[in-house]
Every structure is written in structure tokens, then in C-alpha cells.
Amino acid sequence: MIRLRIPRAPTSPPSALPAELRWDAPPTSVALLLTRREVLKAASVVAAAMSLPLVRTEQAWARARGRYFTARERITLGALCDRVFPADHDPGATALGVVKYVEGLLTALGVRHPPIFTGGPFSGRTPFADAARGVPGRKHPRNAFKRFPALTPRQELAWRLELYGTAEVPELAAFEAQFGPPKVGLRDIYRAGLQKVDDVAQATAGAPYAKLSTTDQDTVFGLLDAGAFAPDPRRNGATFIDIVIRHTLEGCFAAPEYGGNFRTRGWTMLGLEGDSQPLGYSIFDTTTGAYVERADHPMSTPNPDELGPGGTIVPRPLTADGLAVQTSIATLASIIPVDTV
């Protein structure tokens, strides 16, 4: 395993977000904005206030069904994730099930087998090897991934803290007091974050986020990512947007048992085989006492699709984006003198 070590950014890019929408805006400036904006006429403020009980009812309804998001939150989150990982000729975030993945995480502790850690050892996606013949066999193991083992009491405690925050874990009150501000749980982070996404969309583009064109969604995303959310000191300085991006990647590429990676299409589009046990890539042939590699997925030789005539290697070209990140990493690494330890 290679652990890359990347120097941190010297400065953050200048923010185009109006000062009153920044996370560190003085409290009064939001009120000023509200009075300035024509879109927020008195009538709509009243309407918003009237709808508050409805939102509460919907949250309670979601809870009763073992879910967390309201319909509107789900739509907003889906739109946001699709700007992180959009559809093209391959599916995007929502088609891969990212929203379901995030909701599965946020409601993980309400169920008998919390979807935090898959069971083991095998998913059943690949068969056992036929060891006597050195080929893939016909028999598939049962899917043990979907039998999520119960958490140990300490694991449960840690995940309760992660999802519900310090305030909801009274047995950790004294321990948590050592670390400054209380930890805000992921559930509250999502509820407040998605509300703010729609607030910013409304204030800057005149409609809730999901109702905007994808172009406007991209513009608003840029604003949201440039100061709308406070870096969380209890989460290594991550903002809500950082969390959404990480969870989007997880929902696209984690094992499908977690709710995303629909029909393993996340893996397929990357050319990955996914979990390969128990077949793996080399089969020990018990008859001959030798290892046999899989022709379709070789281990010691290049991929078949990059082999040219006479065994020459014809690399599949990278996109400009792939080349750019490679160059970024090599460039950033070389900023730091080798003799600095």
C-alpha cells in the first residue's frame, strides 16, 4: 500500500459567495439580505413559516419508516451528489444509489444488523476455484457481506457519537468535554447542510437547488464550496461539502451491500473487478502443484487490452484530467526538499 503524502494548500481561493451567506457572517447580515432580496417577499416568509410543522411531520414519517430524509432533502442531496459525480455515458451518483447509501449510514443504528461493516468472508459475486483443474468453478458461496455483524458495545458507542453527536451520547459527556466544542452528528450536519444548500440556491439563483439548471447548480455548488460552510474542528476541518463529496465517492464505489454502487456499475465503469474472493486472480492447481493465472485478468502480465502485436505494450491514453492530477501530485511533492524529515 502506498500512502501518498500531499502538502496542504497555502491559501484557499477567493470566495465569490456574498458575505452574508458565508458561514462566518455576522448574524444580522442574513436578516439584511432577506429584506433586500425581492424574491423573498413577505408572503413567502410567511409560507415558509407555515410549512414548518409539515416538515416536522415529514421528518417523523421518515423516522417511522426507518428513514431519515424528507422528500425535499432527498431531492436536494441527489442533485448535489450528481454535480459531484454526474452522469454521462456512465451512470452518475444518484443512479448508482448514493442517496440510499447516505441514508443507510445515517439510519444505521436503528436496525438489528447495522450496515457499518459488511460480514465476511465472501459476497458470492465470484465462484470458488476448481482447485483440481485450476479453473474458476461453478459453485458460488452465499453472500455473507449482507449479514452485517452486530457492533461491539464500543463500536456502537463510537458510531452513535459519529451519527448523533456529543449531545445524544450522555455517557461520553465528560470524555467529550476535553475536546472543545461538542461534536455535531452527521444526521444534524446533513439536515442543516441541505437546508442551507436550498437557502443559498434560493438567495443567489432564485429557486431551491434541485429546481435549478445543471449550469446554475454548478455555479451555486462553487459558492457553497467557497465559504458557505464552516470547517468542522471536530472533523479535521472538513466542511459539509467535503463530507458530501466523500460520501458520494463511498456511495459510488463501496460494496453494493451498503446501498450504493448499483449492480456494481461503479466498479465496472472504472474497469475494476470488485471483491474477488474466493476466486482471486491465481488458482493453485492441486493436480499439477502449480499456480494458474486468469487469462481475462492476468496478475503478472499487462492487461490484454493494452497488449499490441508481438507482445508490445500499447498503453490506453489517459484523459487530460488524469494526466493533470498525476502532474499535480509529482509537482506538489517536489516543493518539499528531500532532506526535510
- Residues 288 to 327 in contact with another protein, rule: CB under 8 A: 291, 293, 297-303, 306, 313, 315-316, 318-327
User: Which of 8, 339, 88, 40 shows the shortest CA–CA distance to 201?
Assistant: 40
Nearer to another protein, 62 or 102 (CB): 102
**Does 284 sit near another protein (CB under 8 A)?**
yes
Helices (H) and strands (E) in the chain, counts: 12, 4
The cell for 234 is 471536530
Q: Pairing between strand 290-293 and 282-285?
A: antiparallel
What whole-number distance in Å separates Cα of residue 176 and Cα of residue 211? 40
**DSSP letter (8 states) at residue 334:** T
Q: Please report how close the Cβ of residue 120 comes to another protein at its closest, in angstroms.
A: 4
> Is the CB of 122 or the CB of 190 nearer to another protein?
122
Angle at 289 between CA 285 and CA 290, to 5 degrees: 70
Residues from 97 through 116 that contact another protein (CB under 8 A)? 116
- What are phi and psi for residue 154, nearest 5 degrees? -75, -40
250 contributes a contact to another protein by CB under 8 A: yes
Q: Of 209 and 258, which CB lies nearer to another protein in the complex structure?
A: 258
By C-beta, is 26 or 120 nearer to another protein? 120
d(CA 290, CA 134) in angstroms, rounded, equals 9
Q: Binder to another protein among 118, 202, 204, 264 (CB under 8 A)?
A: 118
Q: Does 132 bind another protein (CB under 8 A)?
A: no
Q: Is 173 in the site for another protein (CB under 8 A)?
A: no
| Cβ closest to another protein, residue 12 vs residue 28 | 12
Interaction of residue 184 with another protein, rule CB under 8 A: no
Q: Does 162 bind another protein (CB under 8 A)?
A: yes
Contact between 213 and another protein per CB under 8 A: no
Would you say 259 and 101 are in contact if contact means Cβ atoms under 8 Å apart? yes
